[in-house]
Amino acid sequence: MSAPVATSVDRARRHPTGRMPLGRDPVEAAADVALVTRAHRRPLRRVRLVVGMLFVVTVAVVLARVLLGEYTVTLVDFVRILRGETLETAPGASFIVMEAKLPRALIGALAGGAFGAAGAMFQTTLRNPLASPDIIGISLGASAAAVVALTFFDAQGFVVPLAALAGAMAVSVVMYLVARGTSLAGQRMVLVGIGVAALLASVIQLVMTRTSIQDAQAALVWLTGSLNRATWPLIGLLALGIVVLVPALALNARRMRLAELGDELSTTLGSPASGARLGLLIAVALSAFATAATGPISFVAFLAGPISRRLTGGRPSLWAAALVGAVIVVAADYLGDYLIPDVNLPVGVVTGALGAPLMLAVVIAAGRHGKA
C-alpha cells in the first residue's frame, strides 16, 4: 500500500462529507483482518471436509463393489488375495477378485473421477452448466472412432481404446481451432460442439447400418459404456493418463476459478483466456482417456460438477467433482449388476436412466438463477 501521494493537480476539497470511513484504527484494522481470515477460510474448510468425506465414500463404494454381490469376499480374504496368497477354502476366489471384481471397480472409479473432473473444469471455465465433454462431442468423437475401428478394421483388444483416444483428441483439436481467439463465455464453443456431436452421431448411424449384425452389436455394446472390458493393461493406460493429466489440471484450478469472473476480469488479473483454454484442453484429454477405457458413460461428466458444488456450498472443486464422478460410476455399475436379477445392465444404461431426470433438475435449477 502506497503512502498518500500529493498530486500537483490542484484539488479543491469538493466532497467535505465523504461517506467513507477515513480513519484507520489499528485495533479495528486487526479485527477486520481476523474477520476476513475467518470468512475466507470457512468455505475452504468446508471444501476440504467434503473432499475428505467423499474420499471415504469412494473407498467404501469400491470396497463394497469388490467384496459384496453374488460372490462375497471377506475383507480379510481380500487382503490375503491382494498379497498373492491362495485361499485354501476357495481357490477360485483369487481369480474372481483379481480378474473381474477389482479391475471393474478400479476402472469405474478412475474413469468416473476423470469424467467428473473434466466435466467440472468445462462447466466452470465456460460458465455454462450445459458445457461438458459428453455434450459437446468429445465422447462422440471417441465413439465414432471406436465404432469405425470395430467394424471396418475388425480392431481387437487394445486398438479400440487407442482409436477412441485418437478420435476424442481429433474432435478436441477441431474445437480448439474453432474457439481460438473467441470469448470463452460465448456460446460458440458449446454450439459448435453440439453441431460436431450431431455430425459424429450420424457417422455412427451410417456405420451401424452398413455393417454386419455381429459388428453392430459389438459396436453398440461399446457405445453404451460399460466396465466389462476392464483389464489390467487398460487400467494401466487410464492410470497413466490420470497420473500425467490430473496434476496438470490441478495447476489450472486457480485459473478456472478466475475464468468464472469472465474473460475481461480474468485477463486484467493476469490470467488471459488462452490460459483457461489450456485447462480445457487438459480436461478434454482426461475425458478422452476415460472414454477410451470404458466407452461413453452418459451424464457422469455432466452431473458430477453440479452435485459436488451443491456439497461444497457453491465453491467449485475439481477433487470433489472427481470423487463424486467415481462414486456415481462404481455405484451405478453395482446397481446395473444386481438391480434386476439375471440382467446385467451396462453402467451407461444406469447412469443414462438415472441421469436424465437429474439433468432436467440441473437445467431447471440453473434456469432459476438465470444462468441457462
Binding site for another protein (CB under 8 A): 1-12, 14-15, 18-22, 24, 29, 32-33, 35-37, 39-40, 42-43, 127, 185, 251, 254, 257-258, 260-262, 264-265, 267-272, 309, 313-315, 369, 371
Burial environment of residue 159 by CB neighbours within 10 A (0 to 12, 13 to 18, 19 or more): middle
Residue number with CB closer to another protein (65 or 255): 255
Nearest to 115 by CA among 256, 264, 307: 307
Residue number with CB closer to another protein (69 or 272): 272
Residue number with CB closer to another protein (1 or 343): 1
CB of 282 to another protein, least distance (A): 16
CB of 272 to another protein, least distance (A): 6
Residue number with CB closer to another protein (80 or 127): 127
Residue 124: strand, helix, or coil: helix
Residue number with CB closer to another protein (210 or 254): 254
Nearest to 258 by CA among 316, 190, 193: 316
CB of 358 to another protein, least distance (A): 17
Listed in sequence order, the residues at least 6 apart from 192 whose beta carbon sits closer than 8 Å to its beta carbon are 136, 175, 178, 179
Residue number with CB closer to another protein (44 or 82): 44
CB of 324 to another protein, least distance (A): 16
Q: CB of 238 within 8 A of CB of 290?
A: yes
**CB neighbourhood size of 90 (10 A):** 13
The span from the first CA to the last CA of the chain, in angstroms, equals: 41
Residue number with CB closer to another protein (7 or 156): 7
For the chain, helix, strand, coil in percent to 5 are: 70, 0, 30
Alpha-carbon gap, residue 303 to 291, rounded angstroms: 16
CB of 298 to another protein, least distance (A): 24
Burial environment of residue 262 by CB neighbours within 10 A (0 to 12, 13 to 18, 19 or more): middle
Give the HSE-up count for residue 289: Cα atoms under 13 Å, Cβ half-sphere: 28
CB of 188 to another protein, least distance (A): 15
CB of 63 to another protein, least distance (A): 33
Residue number with CB closer to another protein (43 or 69): 43
Alpha-carbon gap, residue 61 to 328, rounded angstroms: 9
Residue 14: strand, helix, or coil: coil
CB of 280 to another protein, least distance (A): 17
Alpha-carbon gap, residue 331 to 351, rounded angstroms: 10
